[in-house]
Amino acid sequence: MNHNQNEATANGSSDEVITKAKTTAVQYFKEKYNLDVEITKEEMMPSIVADKVNLEGFVVDHPEQTFKISVDFNTGETSNFVMNPELRKAIKGE
């Protein structure tokens, strides 16, 4: 095994980890806010930093409503959710 790979790849490739994280994020937005989102960027953090995949994206049909969110690839927990003002207004119904 390549020593530079993330520890998470022991159970699957980094592509599988990223795909799972993206699915988790999409489900989070659907369940919590009833929003369909598209992920446009993903970055897997080195495991010495954090066992997380950082994701960026926007609400489907509303590219001005953008967000960033992290998904822990061991627990599936979401964190570091940041939304721009347009998405904040949409969620709060303003």
Say how many C-beta atoms besides its own lie within 10 A of residue 33's C-beta: 15
Of the candidates 1, 16, 2, 17, the residue with the CA atom closest to the CA atom of residue 74: 17
* Gap between the terminal Cα atoms of the chain: 51
Contact by Cβ (8 Å): 80, 68: yes
pLDDT value of residue 8? 44
Chain segment 3-57, per-residue pLDDT in tens: 334 444 445 688 999 999 999 999 999 999 999 999 999 999 988 888 999 999 9
Q: How far apart are CA 91 and CA 41, in angstroms?
A: 22
pLDDT value of residue 10? 46
Tokens of 33: 């806010």
pLDDT value of residue 2? 36
Q: Which domains does the chain have, with CATH numbers?
A: 7-92 (3.10.450.130)
